[in-house]
Structure 1
């Protein structure tokens, strides 16, 4: 399979303090340990990806960042603030937006109404500019503006989920499995949109993906999660070349 994403341009980290810093985080579901001492850094202007098999704990990490479930031990710091114990609604007001696994759009609402929901927490004067930005990124949404979300295709729903998150003007965009269940052409469109947001606007992105090839081609840096632990980290290119990664996540290097 040929590469669909250009090699990311290097990010100059102006400060040693990450925008998002996760230190020693452990998360439980009842007595079951889901995350085991996780350490992750995401610096301003980076695309960072977390790859791993289904059930590795990737989505749990995303949800833990957002406060549900809460980390039982460790700390999560965002923009210099400890957010570990904050409720989800307060975390979302700090400039973090999530496009969750499974999209979770409002199916009975139109495309416009879904985007209005995404803008609910920000200054209304920005709405028209932000709407134009989303439609420039995903022209298909403009064509479907009066259509109910539940009648959109899977790819269109994923575009809507990302667009809804962007309407909140985030400093950090969390993307949970954006390629899941989508046709290859749509996956290409989604990943190119993410790259464009990062390259043109400097948006910081933390991406969780089972599609290791596309994610690592896109990302400046990556982490590998196995059974709730970080087992490897490095630049996207470095991880793509690791034999362990190729064997486990790239079908023996056949991509």
Structure 2
């Protein structure tokens, strides 16, 4: 019996908010060691899919499979203990805690006891955080807060990293630093990444494979290069988006 190379599978998932259908029969896969991007306009359902994978809200129908196990009906806290880490939209760091305290909290919440290795990786990836390690999270710039949110997620030493809109509201230079760091993590550690992102140009350049979502449905898929080259994708998502 061969084991599947899929680390994450979303199978025909529908998600409702009350009577409103937010996701309509979504199918996608993320293979081990892969970076997969999901692009789409604001309100397309991208963040809803990310939250459904994490169990809040739960899918109304269909399945979410992680490493061969059906996690569709699991509570969020159990899902997040399965070597899955999320950096949510809006950089929800602890603003009154220092950078170091935020990072330690990330390790403790996931039960990761190799604290020194986690801190070393965070500071190697984002040297700015080492400089700011005693500073309160809430006093950091937007870019530094995004670095902290990603580094805190990595403190759990995950096998799958879920990133929700990491470039939102950031200056172009900082966006490049963030995406370079994600690429480095994937290439050096083999980390599997599922990225939800409005900045289609960066997301498609980074991705091994990508999907396009419109009104809660997947309308296109292919390699990042293939989708970047498509005229309909360029017209819909890349006009003026090359930052």
TM-score (ref. length: structure 2): 0.97
Could you tell me how far apart the structure 2 residues matched to 1:95 and 1:119 are?
Answer: 12
The aligned counterpart of 1:105 is 93
The aligned counterpart of 2:208 is 220
The aligned counterpart of 1:211 is 199
The aligned counterpart of 1:167 is 155
Q: CA deviation at 1:90?
A: 0.1
Cα deviation digits, residues 102-121 of structure 1 (max 9, x gap): 01001111101110111012
**CA RMSD after TM alignment:** 1.4
Q: 2:82 aligns with which of 94, 111, 115?
A: 94
Could you tell me how far apart the structure 2 residues matched to 1:28 and 1:161 are?
Answer: 28
The aligned counterpart of 2:166 is 178
The aligned counterpart of 1:66 is 54
Cα deviation digits, residues 111-168 of structure 1 (max 9, x gap): 01110111012342x1001100100000000111111111000000000000000000
Alignment of 1:127 with 2:154, yes or no, is no
The aligned counterpart of 2:219 is 231
1:246·1:252 contact (CA, 8 Å) conserved in 2? Answer: no
Q: Please, which runs of 5 or more residues in structure 2 have no aligned partner?
A: none
Q: CA deviation at 1:242?
A: 1.0
- SS at structure 1 position matched to 2:23: strand
Could you tell me how far apart the structure 2 residues matched to 1:191 and 1:206 are?
Answer: 13
Deviating runs (4+, > 3 A) in structure 1?
14-17, 252-255
2:5·2:32 contact (CA, 8 Å) conserved in 1? Answer: no
Q: CA deviation at 1:190?
A: 0.2
- SS at structure 1 position matched to 2:221: strand
Q: Please, which runs of 5 or more residues in structure 1 have no aligned partner?
A: 1-13
TM-score (ref. length: structure 1): 0.92
Q: 2:28 aligns with which of 25, 28, 40?
A: 40
1:178·1:209 contact (CA, 8 Å) conserved in 2? Answer: yes
Q: CA deviation at 1:222?
A: 0.1
2:161·2:191 contact (CA, 8 Å) conserved in 1? Answer: yes
Count of aligned pairs between the two proteins: 241
Could you tell me how far apart the structure 2 residues matched to 1:254 and 1:40 are?
Answer: 26
- SS at structure 1 position matched to 2:42: coil
Q: CA deviation at 1:252?
A: 7.7
Within a 5 Å distance, the mapping from 1:51-62 to structure 2 comes to: 51-62=39-50
